[in-house]
Structure 1
């Protein structure tokens, strides 16, 4: 403790400070600060026969309820205030807990009018304790009850009807007396052993919880028993192993027999600090016995009797430190210790309160903000935001690019699949004698995916199709049906990749809508479910229309087979006809299947010696190449000498007889050219169809559908929308709890400010 322990409690400045701090602590408890902070207090505990009730009476000057067994079943807080007026007291009930759960807002209820006659206090306290044990009933119910009526609330029948056996809520009594020092303490039920196990455990649990933390533990110890038998002292030592918060009060010194020499020596050693040391020490008090209580002696008379006892009775009159004897010395020391502890602890609690406020505010920030407007306005705002972000995603505005980028990946995959349906014409009599012909242009555009999985056709295959298609055509006319049949064989294979592409994009859109719905409306589960029903129904409608649109797009490619892009068609036809003719002359066989190559032996891995005989010099090779002339050049030179100048390799082909498969080559070129035109068209048209029929159509119409479905003009709109935006009870309860806690903490800070702490 600080140097103030040497001050007299009657010192004006110190007394003023003590009263101020005690009043602050009392106000803090009234607003529920004890559920959040460890407020310093004095807690009185003791065994059933330790004289604890007599001790409380001696300190307070009032009568407290006494019965066999456990009489007190809740804490009783006594606040002593020195007053210049007549004696009075006020009883109130402080409800801080509901079945051991701290209330968000404690209640302090006045219990009856102030009392001015000490003889009325005992029965009033009995009534107040019963009211505390029956929080489900109005306290006024018990004000007019008699002592016999109150006894009913100690029966099993009353417990079955809801009366609590014990309570952590407090009966508070404020005493105003000109002869008392400022002091506050909490009296707990006496520790018992001869009750049912549940009751014994409840009393121990109540005491254990109350004496933790910053409590000063006042233990009543009867000198008629051995110190080692004191259950209360064992509890105190468990809660205060350093023995810095415990104060021992030795009671019943007048009951120690004259011949109990060993017992007197043991208690003398304890009082002198030679045994069972406590930092705050022990005090010895003589309390009124039953005869003296029946005489209704005044506090002064009782204290005079005690002082005379300690001055005349051995060995107590031989102990040097006289400040350890009597109620006045005990009260003076208790007030001093509590004041110093409050002076030390309360300023730190102010900083803790501010930290707790900051923590609560951070938790509040993590919760959704409460609705600031009418439900209809809030819902419209959420719908507008949802639909606005959907449009940005579909049209690629702002930072919402991913949705379009993913769709473009689907469209590229569609392009590759359509390209793989290209006709596979092999301009040879046997398809196995020629490899598939690649397109350099397509290779550059599609890369490694330039392949076709179509059924290959050789010249005889095309000829068979031509013959099967002949109707009333004149000779030397190739039936258009032959070309149409070969073209449609490719186009019919476009349905599957087209609807796969639509499925990929629609699945992505559905997932996006679901994710955004979860994100935007998650605060309000009912609204979220309602909005999702509308979105899903509208999506299904638009998806069905987009399927129809895709079907129309595919049908347009199949009938009629038409293009006005003649220039591109002709150029592609010429290119492929040239390719087929060239390959007809110089077929390139398919690559042989890979043959496993055995691993070389170690000897084979060694490099062979270089044999110059196998490799003529580069000079000799170059000279040989310069002398060699190709047969084509020789033929063109001979014709020039005969007077046919200016001829080229193409002119020489006219000397060859006509190809018997020329018609088939033309059909191959025509079909391949039209496929290229249609392919170029569909890989643009189908993605645009999906975008317009599904994505953009839904994005452009969804807001109207959602708003229209709310039926804002209906008679029940207000109640219906209010129900939709009813947030989860857990969120609102947490927000209310945090808001209430902040208000309580602010009240605590206000009390600190008001008292200048």
Structure 2
């Protein structure tokens, strides 16, 4: 479709039809397409033929493939540029602009042909897609093109101007041209950007055109031909801000200036556009190019006449100051030849890498879906294979054997219970949590911190983080230590729950990696939920028994108890001895020394021995309290160590962690009834569609991968 054209008279239409037919004839005879052939050398054809073959595999929706996109504001002359580049006489109508993306696919073939079809947008319903995809038309004469395009518009739901509910469509009109002299090339003409709502164009239409343009130009492998019309101030043409946003360095944007002949010769506007063409204002690394479109009066001219008129203009106008390679449609083809070739050549290695990654991802997705599951036997076979994989990975995680792809996941993440990668390494994360539990119980497991003899009471250090179930111990002097309480059950219960949560998350992540969501939800509700509940209940019962045992009269055969009592007594005796020695020490000044003030130190041994007598405490109650506190501290430390060992071994390890892999094992699957197996693993219709989708995608990617691998072996990129 053309921007900005008026209705044609029957005579004009006839002339245009005749000219179109002549053009088609010249194409068949190998005449009139020499300019198209200039787009590629033999090496360029080899590279671009490769991309064309990959495109033919149907990979446009999977990978961003190299292409040229013609974009710009409404009536900027985009379609005229595309028409001149491809030498396809698009229908002209000044009342219509381009209402959809038009994809021109030129391919080399032994026979000339032109096929038109519509590619439905992904948002279409299945029924709409089927109806649209059924539309296809082939012609041998360009004069048939207007009627075919009208039919295509009706298929898209656009219809005639002023009648359609929506003025634009997300669908793509695909025009595929084949012939022995055609280059392998894809060009796309986008709807012109609209700044404001008008009669027949709604706000939704304006936003839709913006969305279509953004989708195309944001693709990293697209060369943007940003078209601006010299009849409008380029600062007001929105396409420039759009391409600069997605391509800030101008790496893949070529500016195109159209309609330079509409500018008054010698005017300031003409000078501004000449400066723009010189890349002196808005800078693109690919630069700018100027073309002269056919005027309204030249609408029926052939392409040869159009090119001759353009060449004459650039020889005589003020634009003749520009380099020849920056003006005219022929120079633009040669320029695009180099740009597209270098761009594609540069992108081929990354395209190959992206394709390989997409192939691996699709294979993984298909493997996750598994084989078809229509019968109870199919379901049991699927669950058996799934349980074997589950058992293997879960056991490895539990034993700390982190080998294989299951553990190569975001290994640079900070190790924590909030990291999916850390939770995958189950043994390591449980060990870390047990160590933290031990630390917390040592630091916060006691209600009171009892100072040693004569040790002053200190303030609590508020800079140390406190676990939520455990307030920091209250510091007491020994004289204040007359009561006792235990916070261990609360801390232990919190620790067991945290480990259970991590194990639950580990199992969830593992299932997400191995099977579809519908299988996860059914397997979890029918089996995992109850299995984990039983393990948690067993852990809670074990915890209660351990807590009960520790509340009873302590039974101890650990020499650590006597060692601790003796160490506490020793520390107290050392304090007494230091005090006694200090009290028995006297310092006498030495007179007559020339070198300064000196003293003579003397220790009264008898006095020191009298002062140091551990058993000389006259206050029997205080002495008894000292001894009781020493033994209380010692038995507390022994019990603390035992409690930590019991919680981590008898509760966490025995009931929460150990045997986690046996929750879902082949033994469990073998005991399932046919009805239960089907209830868990039966395949919904959506799963079948997904499998068909991935199988089709894999076949396309394999074909593309083969093509790229072959060409990259023979080329020096």
Give the alignment's TM-score, normalised by structure 2. 0.49
Greater C-alpha radius of gyration: 1
Give the alignment's TM-score, normalised by structure 1. 0.47
